[in-house]
Structure 1
Amino acid sequence: QSWGERLCIIHSPASFPLPLQLSSALLFDAVYAVVAAVQELNRSQNVGATQLSCKSSKIWEHGTSLMNYLRMVELEGLTGHIEFNSKGQRSNYALRIMQNSKDGLRQIGLWHSEDGLSMERKLPSINVTDTLFNTTLIITTILENPYVMLRQNHQELEGNDRYEGFCVDMLKELADILKFKYRIRLVGDGVYGVPGANGTWTGMVGELISRKADLAVAGLTITAEREKVIDFSKPFMTLGISIMYRVHLGRRPGYFSFLDPFSPGVWLFMLLAYLAVSCILFLVARLTPYEWYNPHPCLKGRCNLLINQYSLGNSFWFPVGGFMQQGSTIAPRALSTRCVSGVWWAFTLIIISSYTANLAAFLTVQRMEVPIESVDDLADQTAIEYGTMHGGSTMTFFQNSRYQTYQRMWNFMQSKQPSVFVKSTEEGIARVLNSNYAYLLESTMNEYYRQRNCNLTQIGGLLDTKGYGIGMPLGSVYRDEFDLAILKLQEDNRLEILKRKWWDGGKCPKEEDHRAKGLGMENIGGIFVVLVCGLLVAIFMAVLEFVWMLRHAPGNESVCEEMLRELQGIVLCRDSLQARRRRAASMLRPRPLPLEERRARAAAVSLSNGKLCGGTGLPEPLSHRLAQEAALVARGCSHIRICPECRRFQGLRMRPTGAGLPFPAATSLLSRDQRSCGILILPSRVYP
C-alpha cells in the first residue's frame, strides 16, 4: 500500500498529536512543495543564498517571489493532491474514509475540500466487534464493595484473576460481546476523581485524561463536570444519594405488652368508670320499686317476700360480666337499671373494639424510633453529624447544589471539626455504627451494606437520580461499541442477574417483608401472670371461706386435719361424711330456743337477702309430702332441690316454728343424721 492509503485511518480532534506516519508524510509533502516552487523560481531568476539576521529589518529579496510560486504549485504527494489558494491554504484535496476491521482496511467514504462528505451507497455490514477485535485495553478501577473486590486468595493469583465483583463480571460479559482483552489496574491515589485548583484531575478521571488508561470501570457516577473532560457510556445502573443511619429499636416488648394499646391514664379512667357505674347501679336499683319482686310466684297470697337482686356484691359483679363480653344471670328489670346497663354496654363495646384493633399492631410490629425521618429533619438539627466520602460525586453534588437545604448541609459539613468527610465507605459505615453519625452515599451501596448489617437502615428517599457509567478518554472511538454492548446486556437482563448475585444473599431479611409473625412469650407473657395470680387469689379465698365456716361449726377438729380430709375426698371423688355433717350442722341445725320465742316465730320464714316472708301454714298433706321427699333425698345426700324461681337465691335461714308450717314440718321428720346432711328443700314439686 502507498503512504496515501494509510493516512486516513486515524480520525481525531486537532488538539491531539498527529500520528508519526501522518506527520512524516506531511513533512515530506511540505518539503516537496517548497522544492518544486524553488525550481520554478530558479528558472526565471538566479536564486542565491543571503545571510540575514533576525534583528535586522532587511528581508530576502526572493521571498515574495517564492511565496507567489508556492501558491501556484500543483503536484501529487504522499497526502494526496497538493494545491493552495490565494490565501496560502491547501485546497482541492480529498480524504478517503477507511474502516479498520479484522479483514483489513476498507474504504467506506470520501471527503473532498470542495464537495464535502460522500459515503458509499452500499456500506458493508458493520460489526461492533471489529474496532475492538483482539485489542488489549487498560482498565483503571478502585476497590469498592461489591463492584471490585480482592479475592480471599488473591495473593496466590495473578492478573485479572485476583479481582471479583459486579464490575469484574460485567467486564467479562462486555469482553465476550466485543471480543477484546483487558488488564485491570487499581488507581494510584485511590479516589474516583475531582478537579484540583490548577485544573488537573485526580483519581480515575485524571488517568483517563492523561491516557494512562483506556477505560474506567467502577461505580463511577456520571456528572456534568466529568462529562466535560471524559466520555461516558450509557449508564449501566441507576441510583441516587441516600442517608444511612443506625437502627434505633424501641424498648423490648415486656410481659405486660398487652396493656400498651391504652395509656395508663385510660386504664385509670376505665377503673374509675367501673366503680362509678357499680355504685350508681346499686343506688338506682335500691331506689326503683320495680327491682323489688317476689321470688316465689307459686306462693301468691301466702308470702310477702320481696327481694332485690342488686346486692352490693352483685352490683359490682354485673359490670364485670358486661365488660368481659360474657354477661351474667342478673337481668335488669326496671327501666332505670336497664338504662344504666345499656350505657355501660355501649361504653364497653367501644373500649373492647378499640383495644382489639390496636392490640395486633402493638404486639406484632416492633416500631422503630428514629430521631430523623427525612433529609429535612437531618438538615434542621445539629446533634447528629453527617458527611460524605471525600473526593466523590456525592461531595460534589452538595458542593455545587443551589437548593437551600443542600446548601445548609454543605456549609455544616464544610465547617464541622473534626472533619465529617471519610476516605472510604467502610470508614463511613464504621463511624455510623460507633457514633451519632449519618452517612450520605449512593443508594446501591446503602442497599448492599444494609443486607449484611442489620443494625443499619436507610432514612427517607433518594436525594437525586443519577447513573453509573464506563469512563473513557474524550473522543474515544470505543464509545458507540460499549453503548451498544451495555444496551444488549440490559435487554438480556444480564445486568439485573449480576446485581442480584452480588447484592442479595445477606443475613438480614428484606425490608419489604412485613408479614405478621407469631407472638412470643415476651409479648403476651403478662396475661399468663395475671391468670396465675387470679387462680392463686381464688384458692386463697376458698381457704379463707373454708376456715371461716369451720370456725363457726361445732366440733374441735383442727383446721389442717379437716382440710386434709376434704382434699382427700376431692381427690378420691367422694365426700367426707364428717365434713358433710359439719357443713349440715352449721347450716341447718337449729339452736334451742325458749318456747315463747318459738311460738313468736311460728309463722315466719325469712331469707338472708330478702324481707320477711309471712303467711299461713300449708295443708297437712303438703307437709307430709315434703317429709317424704326429704326422707328420699336424705339417703343420697348428693344435691339440693331448689325451686326454679328461687335457684339463684341461697342463704335461707329457717326459724323454729310451730306445727303446720312446711319447713319445720319437713325438718322435724328427719333424723339427726338426715338433718346433718345439709339438705334444704323448697316446694319445687308442690307447685309446678
Structure 2
Amino acid sequence: PSWNPNDTEPLYTLLSSALLFDAVHAVVAAVQELNRSQNVGATQLSCKSSKIWEHGTSLMNYLRMVELEGLTGHIEFNSKGQRSNYALRIMQNSRDGLRQIGQWHSEQGLSMERKLPSINVTDTLFNTTLTITTILENPYVMLRPNHQEMEGNERYEGFCVDMLKELADVLKFKYRINLVGDGVYGVSGTNGTWTGMVGELISRKADLAVAGLTITAEREKVIDFSKPFMTLGISIMYRVHLGRRPGYFSFLDPFSPGVWLFMLLAYLAVSCVLFLVARLTPYEWYNPHPCLKGRCNLLINQYSLGNSFWFPVGGFMQQGSTIAPRALSTRCVSGVWWAFTLIIISSYTANLAAFLTVQRMEVPIESVDDLADQTAIEYGTMHGGSTMTFFQNSRYQTYQRMWNFMHSKQPSVFVKSTEEGIARVVNSNYAYLLESTMNEYYRQRNCNLTQIGGLLDTKGYGIGMPAGSVYRDEFDLAILKLQEDNRLEILKRKWWDGGKCPKEEDHRAKGLGMENIGGIFVVLVCGLLVAIFMAVLEFISPGLSLSLPSLSLCVLQLSVCEEMLRELQGIVLCRDSLQLRRRRGTTMLRPRSLPLEERRARAAAVSLSNGKLCGAAAGLPLSEPLSHRLAQEAALVARGCSHIRICPECRRFQGLRAMRPGGGPSHGASPTHSEESIEWEKTTNSSEPE
C-alpha cells in the first residue's frame, strides 16, 4: 500500500492491516468454493474431545487452490500451505517520500534498480530529529552536576552522549534524549509484551535506544540492532580480601610456626647430643699444653655445656666458630647439622623475597565454578537485564545451577541498579554479576572491588532500533567509521580512565618499608639490650671486698658505682684500660686510678701477659713497653716464681732470644735484663721437658 512518511500511523500497522485483509479474503474465497460442492455447517466441538470438524480437510485443500490479487500482491499457496510466487518491493525513505530501489521475488530473488546512497551524501537522516530513549547508567549516560540549570540534551553527559554527538556529526541528524519511563533495559513478559527501552522501541515511542544495551537473540527477534560499538562479557565483581598487612615480624612468614618450633627442638637435641658424644669419646679430651709432657696430667674437653650450645648456633648462622671437632663422632654430628642448616637456610632465603615483596590477596572464590559450588557467598544480577536473561536461558549445567540459586533465594539477590549491586558487594558477603566494562569502570573508582576469574561469555553493546528501521545500515556504516578513526576508543579512555586506584597489571618492584623488615631491627635492639644487661651482671657479680693474700699491697676498696664511673671515665678519656682483675669475686686493682706516689711504690707488683701476678721481684713500671715486661716475665720464670706458668707452646717469648748482650732491642735494655734473658735462654734450651 502507498504510505506517506509524514503520516502518524506507522508503516508496519498499515502492512499488518493489508496482510490481515488478504488473509480473510483468501479464507472467504476458499469457503465459497467449498460451499458450492457441499453443504457447510457449523458443529460444536470440544478441545477435550478427539472429534474434528468434518469439513476441515476439504477447506484446507480449497485454501491451497486459492489464487487472487490482494492488497499485498499476488496470493498463491504451494502444497505445504506456504505463500509462493510473490514479490516484495524494496523502498527507500527520503524527503520526497518512499521510492522503490529494488525488488525481491520468491522465485527470482533480489534485483536492485539503483545503488544505495553513500553515507556522506545520504539524505535519509539529513536534518531529521530522532527520539532517543536511554537509561541513567555510569559512565554511559549521566546527569551533569548542574543539570537543574540546563535544558534538553545539555543535561546529560557520558560515553553514549558523546557517541551520539559523533554520529550526529557524521549522519547530519538531530536528536532529543528522553529517559525510559520504567528505568529498565527491557525484558519480555509472560504475555509477550516487553518493558523498558525495548518496549518503547516496539511501540514506536522512540527511534533509537542508545545505552549499554546488550545484543541478545531474544531482543533481536523484536527489534533491530546496529553493529556492536563495544565488546564485553559477563564478569564477577567481589570485594577485595587482602591478607593481613605485613607486620614487624613478617620475616618469619616463610616458615610456619610448626617449622620454627621443630627447628628449635632440633637445635636443642643436636646441642645435647653433641655434649654427650664429646664427653663419651676419648678423642675430645686433650692436654692444652703438650710441651709440658710428664709434668702436667691436665686434660680438658672443649665441648663444655656452653660451647655445645654455641657451636650449633655458629653453624646455623653460616659463620662457624673457633671450636673444631676432633673425634669422628663429633664430626659426624657436626656434618649432619651443617647439612640440615644448608637446606633450611636455602629454603628460607628462597621464600623470603616473595613473602616480603608480594602482598598476596586472599580470595575465597577464584572462578565461577567456585562461586557455584558454595552457598556462603550470595550472588545475583540486575533485575530485567541481559545478564539475568543469560542465566535464565542458559543450558550449561553450572549456569543453570546458579540460576536456580538466584531465582529461589529469599530475600531476593537481584538488584534494581548497578549502584545498588556495588553497595551490596561492599557492605555484605555478596558477589555481583555484571558486564566487564561496568566492572572495570567501578573498580577504577573503588579500590575495595576486584574481578574474580575471567569472562563468562562474549557479547556486545549495540544501538537499538525498531524492527525494519530504515536507519540501520546508515548507523552500521557510521559506527564502523568511528571505530576505524579510533574515536570510540578515545571516548572509552576518556570516561573509563582517571580513577584513583592503580592499575592491577602494574607489578613493578617496590622498595621494602619498615613494615616489612622492621622486626629484624627489633631483634637487633633486644639483643644489644640483653648483651648490656649480661655485661652489667658479669661486672658486678664478683665480690669486691676480698683481698689478694699473696700480694703485699694495699687493696683499694671501691663500690660498684665508683668502679663503673672510673671505667666509663677511662673509656671517654681514652686511657689505658690495664687492670688487675681476679675472677669469681676477687679485688680489682687499677694502677691508673691510684696517685702517682702509690703507683711508684707498688711498681713491684708486675702484671704479666698471662694475667697472673707476681710480687717477688722488682719489676719495671707498668708504663714500660710490652717487650720489657715480657723480658721481666722470662726472668721471673727462670728464678722459679711459683705464681707463673707460661706454656711456650704459643712461642710468645721466642723473640726474647734477640735480647742477648750486644743484640738488644732498638729502644735499649739494661744489663740486668740481658743477663735475665740469657738465663731464660739457658732454661728453655735445657734438656728437661718444658
Would you call these one fold, judging by a TM-score over 0.5? yes
Could you tell me whether the CA contact under 8 Å between 1:128 and 1:481 is conserved in 2? no
Once the two structures are TM-superposed, the CA of residue 493 in structure 1 deviates from its matched residue by 2.3
- 2:686 — aligned with what? none
Residues 1:19 and 1:668: Cα distance change in structure 2 (over 3 Å): same
Once the two structures are TM-superposed, the CA of residue 458 in structure 1 deviates from its matched residue by 1.8
Residues 1:666 and 1:234: Cα distance change in structure 2 (over 3 Å): same
Residues 1:667 and 1:405: Cα distance change in structure 2 (over 3 Å): farther
Could you tell me whether the CA contact under 8 Å between 1:605 and 1:655 is conserved in 2? no
Residues 1:670 and 1:650: Cα distance change in structure 2 (over 3 Å): closer
Residues 1:647 and 1:161: Cα distance change in structure 2 (over 3 Å): farther
Residues 1:103 and 1:648: Cα distance change in structure 2 (over 3 Å): farther
Residues 1:258 and 1:635: Cα distance change in structure 2 (over 3 Å): farther
Once the two structures are TM-superposed, the CA of residue 342 in structure 1 deviates from its matched residue by 1.5
- 2:203 — aligned with what? 210
Once the two structures are TM-superposed, the CA of residue 522 in structure 1 deviates from its matched residue by 2.4
Residues 1:94 and 1:202: Cα distance change in structure 2 (over 3 Å): closer
SS at 1:235 equivalent = coil
Could you tell me whether the CA contact under 8 Å between 2:101 and 2:114 is conserved in 1? no
SS at 2:332 equivalent = helix
SS at 1:584 equivalent = coil
**Distance in structure 2 (CA, Å) of the matches to 1:369 and 1:63:** 71
Query: Once the two structures are superposed, what CA deviation does each residue of 1:2-54 show, in whole Å capped at 9, x if it has no partner?
Result: 99xxxxxxx99999955999999999999999999999999999999999999
Residues 1:665 and 1:584: Cα distance change in structure 2 (over 3 Å): farther
Once the two structures are TM-superposed, the CA of residue 352 in structure 1 deviates from its matched residue by 0.9
Could you tell me whether the CA contact under 8 Å between 1:623 and 1:661 is conserved in 2? no
- 1:348 — aligned with what? 341
Could you tell me whether the CA contact under 8 Å between 2:66 and 2:76 is conserved in 1? yes
Once the two structures are TM-superposed, the CA of residue 413 in structure 1 deviates from its matched residue by 2.0
Residues 1:572 and 1:603: Cα distance change in structure 2 (over 3 Å): closer
Once the two structures are TM-superposed, the CA of residue 351 in structure 1 deviates from its matched residue by 0.7
Could you tell me whether the CA contact under 8 Å between 1:12 and 1:475 is conserved in 2? no
Residue 373 of structure 2: which of 359, 366, 380 is its match? Answer: 380
Residues 1:71 and 1:459: Cα distance change in structure 2 (over 3 Å): closer
Once the two structures are TM-superposed, the CA of residue 483 in structure 1 deviates from its matched residue by 1.5
> Structure 1 stretch 307-316 or stretch 23-32: which is displaced more?
23-32
Residues 1:583 and 1:211: Cα distance change in structure 2 (over 3 Å): same
Residues 1:668 and 1:190: Cα distance change in structure 2 (over 3 Å): farther
Query: Once the two structures are superposed, what CA deviation does each residue of 1:590-619 show, in whole Å capped at 9, x if it has no partner?
Result: 999999999999999999999999999999
> Structure 1 stretch 57-66 or stretch 383-392: which is displaced more?
57-66
Cα RMSD (Å): 10.1
> Structure 1 stretch 440-449 or stretch 558-567: which is displaced more?
440-449
Once the two structures are TM-superposed, the CA of residue 569 in structure 1 deviates from its matched residue by 0.7
Residues 1:648 and 1:17: Cα distance change in structure 2 (over 3 Å): farther
2:658 equivalent to 1:665: no
Aligned length: 661
Could you tell me whether the CA contact under 8 Å between 1:295 and 1:645 is conserved in 2? no
> Structure 1 stretch 202-211 or stretch 288-297: which is displaced more?
288-297
> Structure 1 stretch 244-253 or stretch 156-165: which is displaced more?
244-253
**Distance in structure 2 (CA, Å) of the matches to 1:302 and 1:64:** 139
**Distance in structure 2 (CA, Å) of the matches to 1:137 and 1:325:** 81
Could you tell me whether the CA contact under 8 Å between 2:147 and 2:156 is conserved in 1? yes
Could you tell me whether the CA contact under 8 Å between 1:607 and 1:652 is conserved in 2? no
Residues 1:429 and 1:112: Cα distance change in structure 2 (over 3 Å): closer
- 1:571 — aligned with what? 572
Could you tell me whether the CA contact under 8 Å between 2:580 and 2:588 is conserved in 1? no
Once the two structures are TM-superposed, the CA of residue 676 in structure 1 deviates from its matched residue by 24
Structure 2 segments unaligned to the other structure (5+ residues): 544-558, 681-689
Residues 1:434 and 1:13: Cα distance change in structure 2 (over 3 Å): same
> Structure 1 stretch 314-323 or stretch 523-532: which is displaced more?
523-532
State, as a whole percentage, how many aligned pairs show the same letter: 92
**Distance in structure 2 (CA, Å) of the matches to 1:585 and 1:144:** 89
**Distance in structure 2 (CA, Å) of the matches to 1:622 and 1:125:** 110
Residues 1:622 and 1:402: Cα distance change in structure 2 (over 3 Å): closer
Could you tell me whether the CA contact under 8 Å between 1:189 and 1:202 is conserved in 2? yes
- 2:590 — aligned with what? 589
Could you tell me whether the CA contact under 8 Å between 1:627 and 1:666 is conserved in 2? no
**Distance in structure 2 (CA, Å) of the matches to 1:49 and 1:602:** 152
Residues 1:86 and 1:665: Cα distance change in structure 2 (over 3 Å): closer
Could you tell me whether the CA contact under 8 Å between 2:85 and 2:107 is conserved in 1? yes
> Structure 1 stretch 54-63 or stretch 272-281: which is displaced more?
54-63
Query: Once the two structures are superposed, what CA deviation does each residue of 1:401-425 show, in whole Å capped at 9, x if it has no partner?
Result: 2223222222222222222211111
Query: Once the two structures are superposed, what CA deviation does each residue of 1:465-515 show, in whole Å capped at 9, x if it has no partner?
Result: 221111110011111111222222222222222222111111111112233
Could you tell me whether the CA contact under 8 Å between 1:234 and 1:486 is conserved in 2? yes
**Distance in structure 2 (CA, Å) of the matches to 1:391 and 1:100:** 34
Residues 1:467 and 1:435: Cα distance change in structure 2 (over 3 Å): same
Residues 1:532 and 1:22: Cα distance change in structure 2 (over 3 Å): closer
Residues 1:405 and 1:305: Cα distance change in structure 2 (over 3 Å): same
Residues 1:216 and 1:646: Cα distance change in structure 2 (over 3 Å): farther
| TM score, norm. by length of structure 2 | 0.71
Could you tell me whether the CA contact under 8 Å between 1:291 and 1:333 is conserved in 2? yes
Residues 1:672 and 1:249: Cα distance change in structure 2 (over 3 Å): farther
Residues 1:235 and 1:288: Cα distance change in structure 2 (over 3 Å): same
> Structure 1 stretch 24-33 or stretch 300-309: which is displaced more?
24-33
Query: Once the two structures are superposed, what CA deviation does each residue of 1:508-565 show, in whole Å capped at 9, x if it has no partner?
Result: 1111223333222222222222111111111111111111xxxxx999xx11111111
| TM score, norm. by length of structure 1 | 0.71
Mapping for residues 146-225 of structure 1, pairs under 5 Å: 146-225=139-218
SS at 2:101 equivalent = strand
SS at 1:211 equivalent = coil
> Structure 1 stretch 372-381 or stretch 632-641: which is displaced more?
632-641
Once the two structures are TM-superposed, the CA of residue 228 in structure 1 deviates from its matched residue by 0.6
Residues 1:186 and 1:60: Cα distance change in structure 2 (over 3 Å): closer
- 1:19 — aligned with what? 12
Once the two structures are TM-superposed, the CA of residue 138 in structure 1 deviates from its matched residue by 0.9
- 2:416 — aligned with what? 423
Query: Once the two structures are superposed, what CA deviation does each residue of 1:110-147 show, in whole Å capped at 9, x if it has no partner?
Result: 78999876445888767574322222211100000011
Query: Once the two structures are superposed, what CA deviation does each residue of 1:154-175 show, in whole Å capped at 9, x if it has no partner?
Result: 1111211111111111112222
